[in-house]
A and B are shown apart, each in its own frame.
Chain A
Amino acid sequence: MTLDLWINSVYIVAALLFILGLKLLSSPATARRGNGVSALGMGLAVSVALLDQGIIEFKWIVVAAAIGAVIGTVVAKKVEMTSMPEMVALFNGSGGLASLLVGWAAIEGSTSIFVLATIFLSVLIGGVTFTGSIVAYGKLSEKIDGKPIMFSGQRVFNGLLVLLILVSGVMFSVEPNDNTMWFALIVILALLFGVMVVIPIGGADMPVVISLLNSYSGLAACAAGFAINNNILIVAGSLVGASGIILTQIMCKAMNRSLANVLFSGFGSVSGKAEKIEGEVKPISVEDAYYVLEAATNVAIVPGYGMAVAQAQHVVKELQELLEANGCEVNYAIHPVAGRMPGHMNVLLAEADVSYDILLEMDEINPRMDTVDVCIVIGANDVVNPAAREMESSPIYGMPVINVDHAKTVFVLKRSMASGFAGIENPLFFKDNTRMLFGDAKESIGGLIREFE
Chain B
Amino acid sequence: MDAVFLTFILMLSIILGFELINKVPATLHTPLMSGANAISGITLVGALAYAGSGYVSSGATSLLGALAVVFATINVVGGYLVTDRMLAMFKKKDGGQG
- Which chain A residues have a beta carbon within 8 Å of chain B's beta carbons? 15, 18-19, 21-23, 25-29, 31-32, 34-36, 38-39, 42, 45-46, 49-50, 52, 54-58, 60-61, 63-65, 67-69, 71-73, 75-77, 79, 81, 84, 87-88, 91-92, 94-95, 97-99, 101-102, 104-106, 108, 114, 210-211, 214, 217-218, 220-222, 224-226, 228-244, 246-247, 250, 324-330, 334, 336, 341-344, 346-347, 350-351, 353, 355-359, 361
A38-B38, A50-B48, A55-B49 known; A19 vs B16 contact (CB < 8 Å): yes
Decide: B80 and A105 in contact? CB cutoff 8 A. no
Interface centre among A68, A239, A324 (most CB of B within 10 A): A68
- Minimum CB–CB distance from B36 to chain A (whole Å) comes to 4
Q: B interface, how many residues as a size bin?
A: 35 or more
Interface hits, B1-59 → A, CB 8 Å? 2-3, 6, 9-10, 13-14, 16-18, 20-55, 57-58
Decide: B51 and A64 in contact? CB cutoff 8 A. yes
Residues of A contacting B43 with CB < 8 Å? 95, 98-99, 102, 220-221, 224, 233
- Which chain B residues have a beta carbon within 8 Å of chain A's beta carbons? 2-3, 6, 9-10, 13-14, 16-18, 20-55, 57-58, 61-93, 96-98
A98-B44, A346-B28, A361-B26 known; A64 vs B39 contact (CB < 8 Å): no
With the chains together, A334 CA to B49 CA distance in Å? 45
Decide: B69 and A39 in contact? CB cutoff 8 A. no
A60-B62, A68-B73 known; A243 vs B68 contact (CB < 8 Å): no
With the chains together, A61 CA to B47 CA distance in Å? 9
A95-B41, A232-B42 known; A344 vs B30 contact (CB < 8 Å): yes
Residues of B contacting A222 with CB < 8 Å? 10
Decide: A242 and B31 in contact? CB cutoff 8 A. no
With the chains together, A357 CA to B34 CA distance in Å? 22
Q: Name the contact of A101 in the complex, choosing from B17, B67, B79 (C-beta under 8 A).
A: B67
Decide: A72 and B27 in contact? CB cutoff 8 A. no
Decide: B32 and A73 in contact? CB cutoff 8 A. no
Which B-chain residue is minimally distant from A81 (CB atoms)? B86
Q: With contacts A234-B10, A234-B13 known, what are 18 further pairs, Cβ within 8 A?
A: A28-B90, A35-B80, A35-B83, A46-B44, A46-B45, A46-B48, A60-B66, A71-B74, A87-B82, A88-B30, A98-B75, A102-B64, A105-B64, A217-B40, A224-B46, A229-B2, A239-B36, A247-B29
